[in-house]
């Protein structure tokens, strides 16, 4: 039976929530193969549910590595906040959020299952949004299905505040807003790009500090597309320092060239608490590598001046 609180969502998203141990592409394939029944009929992936329908799914055979992905692992976590409904985690750079191709173990999901065993009963171990592997910063995790559904709806309604600090190449002259659809790159399928017919995507950015070759900007997501800030800033002509996918091939200085990851940190998170309905927000200090890079840039700029 589909929980009433999932009413209004597309079937593929409902399955991704209820059967989080399986990849979304695999679940969509099972729908297309006729392995999923909604009130006795075979639906399409985009069909919206009302809530309360009878759901049946014939689970196909899975590769052994994928079926073993959702295992608890003793991986340290920086817990910023915790109560009966949610957990806020400060994710370090280098930690993958969810198991997937090439990263079936050692993820945030595996760590959450170790620290909070009850999350085994919540789809995706309560994860409702992601950060790229090499992006650091704040993530909220739901500890119950009710909290997870509420947070997903807040994300869909664009009421969750997600602010990032990013160091980008070039002199950003003024604050601005990028409203450009994002989809798969037409020829490089592992990349995202601004493309006609892509999904709506909007990012606001504010200048925080300028250096000779780069600018520290604060970015606020209005939507949550894959690689959104990285794609939007590169599209604007200001790729992120250290970005191996969307960044510059020829860098402007050894200092910037030596930074080993995209200079992107999710520093502020705000939302309405799923249970109390009170507004809450958290902030995360820049990690040591990002902070050290800024200190060196300030020192270099002071010496030039």
* Catalytic residue ranges: 132
Residue matched to tokens 């989809």: 183
Name the DSSP letter for residue 95.
Answer: -
User: What are the C-alpha distances in Å from 132 to residues 8, 91, 95?
Assistant: 28, 10, 8
Strand-pairing partners, residue 57, are 36
Contacts 24+ apart (CB under 8 A), 154-161: 154/271, 154/272, 155/128, 155/129, 155/224, 158/222, 158/223, 159/271, 159/272, 160/129, 160/269, 160/270, 160/271, 161/220, 161/268, 161/269, 161/270, 161/271, 161/281
Residue matched to tokens 């807040």: 154
Count of CB atoms situated within 10 Å of the CB of 196:
8
User: What are the C-alpha distances in Å from 238 to residues 110, 124, 166, 234?
Assistant: 35, 34, 10, 5
Are 86 and 273 in contact by the 8 Å Cβ rule? The answer is yes
User: What are the C-alpha distances in Å from 214 to residues 1, 127, 257, 268?
Assistant: 53, 33, 12, 22
Tokens in use for 252? 């402007």
Name the DSSP letter for residue 121.
Answer: G
Q: Which of 82, 284, 259, 291 is nearest to 163 (CA)?
A: 284
User: What is the gyration radius of the CA atoms in the chain, in angstroms?
Assistant: 21
């Amino acid at each position: 039976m589909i929980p009433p609180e999932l009413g209004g969502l597309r079937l593929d998203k409902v399955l991704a929530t209820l059967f989080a141990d399986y990849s979304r592409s695999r679940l969509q394939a099972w729908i297309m193969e006729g392995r999923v029944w909604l009130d006795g009929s075979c639906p399409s992936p985009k069909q919206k549910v009302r809530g309360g329908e009878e759901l049946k799914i014939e689970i196909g055979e899975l590769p052994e590595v994928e079926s073993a992905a959702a295992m608890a692992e003793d991986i340290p976590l920086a817990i910023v906040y915790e109560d009966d409904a949610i957990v806020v985690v400060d994710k370090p750079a280098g930690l993958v959020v969810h198991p997937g191709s090439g990263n079936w173990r050692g993820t945030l999901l595996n760590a959450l299952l170790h620290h909070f065993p009850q999350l085994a009963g919540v789809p995706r171990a309560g994860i409702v949004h992601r950060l790229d592997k090499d992006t650091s910063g704040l993530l909220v995790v739901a500890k119950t299905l009710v909290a997870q559904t509420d947070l997903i709806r807040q994300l869909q309604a664009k009421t969750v505040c997600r602010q990032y600090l990013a160091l980008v190449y070039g002199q950003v002259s003024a604050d601005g807003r990028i409203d450009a659809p994002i989809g798969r790159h037409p020829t490089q399928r592992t990349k995202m790009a601004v493309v006609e017919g892509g999904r709506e995507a909007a990012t606001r950015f504010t200048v925080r500090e300028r250096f000779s070759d780069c600018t520290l900007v604060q970015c606020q997501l209005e939507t949550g597309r894959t690689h959104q800030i990285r794609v939007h800033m590169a599209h604007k002509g200001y790729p992120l320092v250290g970005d191996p996918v969307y960044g510059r091939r020829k860098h402007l200085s050894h200092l910037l060239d030596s930074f080993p990851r995209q200079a992107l940190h999710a520093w502020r998170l705000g939302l309405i608490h799923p249970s109390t309905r009170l507004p809450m927000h958290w902030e995360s200090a820049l990690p040591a590598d990002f902070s050290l890079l800024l200190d060196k840039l300030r020192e270099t700029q002071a010496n030039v001046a």
